[in-house]
Amino acid sequence: MIFGLQGKTLADFATLVMERATQTIIILFLIAHFGAAQNATKTGAEEFPVGVILDLGTLVGKVTGTSIQMALEDFYAVHRSYNTRIALHIRDSRGNNIQAASAALDLLDNHNVQVIIGPQKSSQASFVLDLGNTTQVPIISFTATSPSLYSGGLPYFVRATLNDSAQVNSIASLIRAYGWRQVVPVYEDTDYGRGIIPYLVDALQIIDVRVPYRSVITPSARSGQITQELYKLMTMQTRVFIVHMSSDLASKLFIKAKEVGMMKKGFVWIMTDGITNLIDSLNPSVVEAMNGALGIKFYVPKSEELDSFIMRWNRKIQLDSPNDPSLKPSIFGLWGYDTIWAVAQAVEKIGFNNGTLFQKPAAPRTSTSLDTLQTSAYGSELLNNILQNKFSGLSGYFDLSDRQLQVSTFQIINVVGKGWREIGFWTVENGISRKLNHGKFMTRYAQSVSDLNNAIWPGKSTEIPRGWEIPVSGKKLQVGVHRSMYEQFMTNEKDPITGTTKASGFSVDIFEEAVKRLPYALPYEYIAFDNNEDRGRAGYNDFVYQVYLKVMRA
């Protein structure tokens, strides 16, 4: 025997080799098959490009960035058999309008995205919305709330949030319930800040509440400028302020307001939901400064899914943003999450199968021209599916059929200690109420304070502030003037119509210029001390002596 193998014949050996080989092949095949099966949900699926534009450095950007990633994982964990997968292309617009616009162009041009989620700010939206309209790519923003972004002529714009005009009625109801007669809006000088004002003023006019002044603050205001504006507000009669600005600016404002003594008894601060929705993520020192303020907050119904999401989210955010231990998902995170589910569902529905994403233009596109922007092949079908797909999401019932979330319920809260307490609710149907009552027999617009839980006001006061004070400016500074021998320096005359004293001259100019530069309003009036007609030194000394004697004129 030439090939002796444990007494087996060559034929036996050959059979053995064959068997082993077959086994190996079977095993290899099984491994490959198992691997493929495991990945089947990924490798078999068609990738569908979706763009995301957020200001990733901001509170909202961090919170929603994490939510969006989780939504994607969760959605495909539940829908393993789906034939499509959305592939997110996330861009950071860094708070910049041009950055947002160029990100949108890049996403459309170089990544063929068929949906853009974002942009974050209302001011970033207009160009992106026009691009969406031209290319028929749905633009879904869950943060751009300014009602100035009118969606009527922009069929591809979907708001997965409410526009800010939705909450003005809740604010007006609140003001009416407490019986305040005049309010001052304090808002940031941006599209977002300004957008709400006409609606707010209208709603207040209906209930006969006056807006004697509007306080506009630029987002880049330094703390000195904020202080100056606050001093101005302090000299006025109104003590009710409605704050509508980004949470960043609001944080600075409230810290300063506390510093200058405007978080004391007698003051009323009402925050719109842009701030209140994020209150759980704000710095504790800011919440401390806000104590006593009221806020309007989007109401999220409790659910087991939400509890479980929050637990997992808290773990993930620690990895994503380890330097911000206080971040909480907030309503924006939930809207971001639900938006991804809505989009992913719509993508599966349209039966996308590796088709052409954009209809090719007749002429080749040059890099600088927007004329040849292509039209999305799937945009319009996607849009319809997104609008039709209503479901119960983490944020509540998610219904975009009006291309905007349906107005639901606002919670009215009072900032107390390190957190906040609920003092009531506001719904379109029932106005203000202490409890959320889904019954149909509630009195309509039962708007009185007794429908709310007691609030603890600034200065830990439990007394409802009356909303106005006789301000410091009730008394005017009396400025004595005396005709000088040199009229260029100082002279005065009585206004024949109003009877008031008008002063002029170099000294008067200097005085008036100095007053303008004070960090607060200083009302003053000129009082003529010309009893003695002596314009020389003796007359002047006599005049100064009157000041020493504290002589007042009525």
Ligand X SMILES: *[C@@H]1O[C@H](CO)[C@@H](O)[C@H](O)[C@H]1NC(C)=O
Site of interaction with ligand X (CB under 6 A): 35-36, 39, 42-43, 130, 133, 147, 150-151, 153-154, 162-163, 165-166, 404, 407
For residue 288, give both structure tokens.
């401390």
In whole angstroms, the minimum distance from the beta carbon of 127 to ligand X comes to 11
* Residues 186, 174: Cα–Cα separation, whole Å: 17
Report the residue number, 32 or 510, with the smaller CB distance to ligand X: 32
Report the residue number, 151 or 237, with the smaller CB distance to ligand X: 151
DSSP-based three-state secondary structure for 84: strand
For residue 420, give both structure tokens.
């906040």
In whole angstroms, the minimum distance from the beta carbon of 52 to ligand X comes to 21
Report the residue number, 165 or 491, with the smaller CB distance to ligand X: 165
| Rounded-to-5 percentages of helix, strand, coil across the chain | 40, 20, 40
Which amino acid, 30? L
* Residues 148, 192: Cα–Cα separation, whole Å: 8
User: Which residue lies nearest ligand X, judged by its C-beta?
Assistant: 35
* Residues 412, 351: Cα–Cα separation, whole Å: 44
* Cβ count within 10 A of residue 134: 16
* β-sheet bridge partners, residue 358: 376
Give residue for tokens 């929603």: 64
The Cα-based distances of 288 to 216, 282, 296, 350 in angstroms read 24, 10, 18, 50
Report the residue number, 155 or 219, with the smaller CB distance to ligand X: 155
In whole angstroms, the minimum distance from the beta carbon of 196 to ligand X comes to 11
In whole angstroms, the minimum distance from the beta carbon of 311 to ligand X comes to 26
Which of 393, 428, 422 is CA-nearest to residue 407? 428
Report the residue number, 35 or 351, with the smaller CB distance to ligand X: 35
Which of 246, 301, 304, 233 is CA-nearest to residue 272? 246
Burial class (CB in 10 A: 0-12, 13-18, 19+), 522: middle
In whole angstroms, the minimum distance from the beta carbon of 104 to ligand X comes to 15
Cα atoms in the 13 Å half-sphere on the side-chain side of 13: 10
Report the residue number, 160 or 230, with the smaller CB distance to ligand X: 160
Report the residue number, 39 or 308, with the smaller CB distance to ligand X: 39
In whole angstroms, the minimum distance from the beta carbon of 221 to ligand X comes to 28
Report the residue number, 205 or 326, with the smaller CB distance to ligand X: 205
Report the residue number, 165 or 330, with the smaller CB distance to ligand X: 165
Q: Which residues contact 137 (CB under 8 A, 6 or more apart)?
A: 108, 113, 114, 115, 116, 131, 156, 376, 379
* Residues 59, 519: Cα–Cα separation, whole Å: 32
In whole angstroms, the minimum distance from the beta carbon of 21 to ligand X comes to 22
Report the residue number, 150 or 391, with the smaller CB distance to ligand X: 150
In whole angstroms, the minimum distance from the beta carbon of 39 to ligand X comes to 4
In whole angstroms, the minimum distance from the beta carbon of 343 to ligand X comes to 20
* Residues 413, 420: Cα–Cα separation, whole Å: 6
* Cβ count within 10 A of residue 116: 27
Report the residue number, 166 or 412, with the smaller CB distance to ligand X: 166
In whole angstroms, the minimum distance from the beta carbon of 151 to ligand X comes to 5
In whole angstroms, the minimum distance from the beta carbon of 66 to ligand X comes to 21
DSSP string, 34-82: HHHHHHHHHHTSEEEEEEEEE-TTSHHHHHHHHHHHHHHHHHHHH-TT-
